[in-house]
Structure 1
Amino acid sequence: MDNKTSRYLKYAIGEIILVVIGILIALQLNNLNDDRKNIAEEIIILNNLKDNLQSALDQSKDQIFTENGNVARLKGVLGWSEDGSRINLDTISDITFSKALWNIGQGRPILNTYTNLKNSNKIGLIRNQEITEKFTLLERSLEELKGMLDDRLIVHQTRIDDIAENDINFVRFLKLELKEIDISQEPINDYDALLKLQRIRNLMAIKLRMTMDVLEDREALHKEITDLKNLIEKELNRLN
C-alpha cells in the first residue's frame, strides 16, 4: 500500500510539473508573440513619425526661405544690400516696400502624427527613450517659436501697420493685385524721404530685428527635426 501511495504521489507530482512547464512555455510563447506584435506596431509608428518629420522639414525649409526673403527686403528698404553695402533708397519700388512692410510668416512645422500618438496613449510603444525625449524637447521648441511669432505679430499689428495707414499711399499697393485699376491720379510714394524719417526707420529696424530672431529660431528648429528624423531612421535599421 505504501509503495502504491508513493508511486501515485510521484505520478501526481510529475503531472503537476508537466502542467506547470506547459503553462510556462505557453506564457513564454504568448509573450514572444506579444513582443513581435509590439515591435511590428512600433516599426509602423516610427515609419509614420519619420514621414511626418520629413513633411515638417519640407514646411520648415519653405518657412526659412520666406524669412530669409523678408530679412533681405527689410535690409533693402533700410538701405543695405545683401553684402551690407549702402544702396540708394530712391530705387525702392512699391512692390519692394509693400512686401517689406506687409509680409510676415506665421506658419510652423506641423507634427500631427506625434500629437495623435500622445492622445491615443500609444507613444509608450516607442521603447527608445531618447526618441521620446527629443520629441518632448521638439514640442517645447515649437511652443517657443509660436511665442516669438505671436510677439512679432502683435508688434506688427500695433506698430508696423500704422505706417500703412498714416505714412504712405496704400492705394497704390492695390495695383499689385488688381492689374486693371488706374492709379495714375494717385500720389506717388516717396520712399527716399519716408525712409529717412527716424520713426519709420526704427519701426522697420524693429521688424528686421524680430524677423532675424525668428529666422535663427527656425533654423535651430530645423536642425532639431533633422536630428530626430536621423535618430528614428537609425532605430528602424536596428529593428529591421
Structure 2
Amino acid sequence: MIKFFRKIRQKLLSEGKTGKYFKYAIGEIVLVVIGILIALQINNWNEKRKESKKEDQLIDVLITDLQSKKTEFISDLAYGKSIISKSDISINYWKENSQIDTLNLKSLLKTLAEDEWFFDENSPVYATISGSELWKQLPDSLNRQIDNMYRMRFGVIKSAFVKQSEYALNGKLNFLAPNRLLNLNESTLKIQRIVAEDDENFIILLELFKSGVIRLTSKFETTIPSIEELIENLEFYKNNK
C-alpha cells in the first residue's frame, strides 16, 4: 500500500502537477491520521471491554460472597429459632409446674455448653474490591450500601456472636461444670434430678442464653433482606452500566 501511494506521488511530481501533489499529500496525511484515530479507538474499546469484563467478574465474586453469607444466616436463623422454641417450652413448663421438663433437657444443656459461637465478618472479596478501581467507579449509593453491609451489619452480628459465646462460657463455668453436666452421659432422668437441685439458676441461665439468641435472630431477620436487596442492586448495575 505504501509503495502504491509513493508511485502516485512520483507520477504527479514527474508530470509537474505540484498543486495536485500537495493536495494528494495532505489527503494522504489525513487518511493516515484517520487510520491512527480508528486504531486508537479500537484499542480503547478493547481496553474498556477488558475492564468491563474484569468489573463483571469482581461483581460476580462479591455477589457469590453475599449469597454465601445469606445462606449461612438462613441456617443460623433456623437454628436460633429452634433454640428459642425449646427454651420457651422448658421455661414455661417450669413456671407452670415448678419442675424441670425432660423433653428438651439434654438438647438444651448441650446447646448451653456451646461456647464457640463464631462469625468471621472479614471478607477477602470486600477487601479486594474496596481497594480497587472498581470501587471508584461504582455509584456512591452502591458504595455506601456495600460498606454498610460489610462494616456495620456484619460487624454487629459478629459482636452478637461474641456476646453469645460469653453467655455460653459463663453457663459452662458456673452451672454445667460444677454440676458435672458437660458430658451428658447420664440418663435424662438422672440429669433432670441434678438440674432440679439448682433449677432456678438453670432457668436464669436459660433465659439469659435465650435473650442472646433472640438478639441474634433479629439481626439475621433484618440482614437477610438487606443482602437480597444489595445483590439485586449489584446485578442491576452490572447489567445496565
Q: State whether TM-score is above 0.5.
A: yes
Partner of 1:202: 204
Question: Which among 150, 158, 171 is matched to residue 146 of structure 1?
Answer: 158
Tell me the secondary structure at the aligned position of residue 78 of structure 1. Answer: helix
Partner of 2:117: 106
Say if 2:79 is the partner of 1:66: yes
Partner of 2:70: 57
Distance 1:40 1:172 in 2: 54
Residue 92 of structure 1 contacts residue 191 of structure 1 at CA under 8 Å; is this kept in 2? Answer: no
Residue 79 of structure 1 contacts residue 88 of structure 1 at CA under 8 Å; is this kept in 2? Answer: no
Unmatched tracts of structure 2, length 5 or more: 1-16
Say if 2:221 is the partner of 1:219: yes
Shift of 1:128: 4.4
Residue 175 of structure 2 contacts residue 202 of structure 2 at CA under 8 Å; is this kept in 1? Answer: yes
Matches within 5 A, 1:42-191: 42-79=55-92, 86=96, 89-93=99-103, 94-103=105-114, 106-108=117-119, 112=123, 114-115=125-126, 117-118=128-129, 121=132, 123-124=134-135, 127-140=138-151, 141-159=153-171, 161-166=173-178, 168-170=179-181, 173-175=184-186, 189-191=193-195
Q: How big is each residue's C-alpha offset from its partner over 1:78-118, in whole Å with a ceiling of 9 and x where there is no partner?
A: 2269xxx9576432354144135224672437775623633
CA separation of 1:20 and 1:105: change in aligned 2, threshold 3 A:
same
Shift of 1:209: 1.6
TM-score normalised over the length of structure 1: 0.71
Distance 1:106 1:187 in 2: 25
Distance 2:35 2:59 in 1: 36
Q: Which amino acid is 2:143 matched to?
A: T
Residue 70 of structure 2 contacts residue 224 of structure 2 at CA under 8 Å; is this kept in 1? Answer: yes
RMSD: 3.8
Distance 2:218 2:83 in 1: 13
Distance 1:136 1:15 in 2: 55
Residue 53 of structure 1 contacts residue 229 of structure 1 at CA under 8 Å; is this kept in 2? Answer: yes
Q: Which amino acid is 1:90 matched to?
A: I
Shift of 1:69: 1.6
Residue 70 of structure 1 contacts residue 103 of structure 1 at CA under 8 Å; is this kept in 2? Answer: no
TM-score normalised over the length of structure 2: 0.71
Q: Which has the higher helix share?
A: 2
Residue 145 of structure 1 contacts residue 217 of structure 1 at CA under 8 Å; is this kept in 2? Answer: yes
Shift of 1:10: 6.5
Q: Which amino acid is 2:60 matched to?
A: N
Shift of 1:5: 9.3
Q: Which amino acid is 1:54 matched to?
A: Q
Residue 89 of structure 1 contacts residue 192 of structure 1 at CA under 8 Å; is this kept in 2? Answer: yes
Unmatched tracts of structure 1, length 5 or more: 176-182
Identity %: 18
